[in-house]
Structure 1
Amino acid sequence: MVLHPKARLILQEQFPEFYEDHKHYFYEGDIKEILLRTKVLISDYSSVTYMAFTGGTNVVFYWKDKERCEEEYGAPNILQENIAFGDVTYNFKELDLAIQQNYELDQQHHHVRQFNELVECTDGHNTKNTFHSLSRIMVPSKNPQL
Structure 2
Amino acid sequence: MGRRTLVLVAREDGRFDCRVAHWGVDADPVAQSRPLGRGWSAAAVRDRLDATVEAVLVCDGSVRRYCVCWLDPTLDDPTDVALARTDDPTALRAWWVEEKSRACDAVARGVDAGTVRDGLLAALRDRADAVHLPDDAPFLRGDR
Normalised TM-score (structure 2): 0.30
Structure number with the higher helix fraction is 1
Please tell me whether Structure 1 or Structure 2 has the larger radius of gyration of its CA atoms: 1
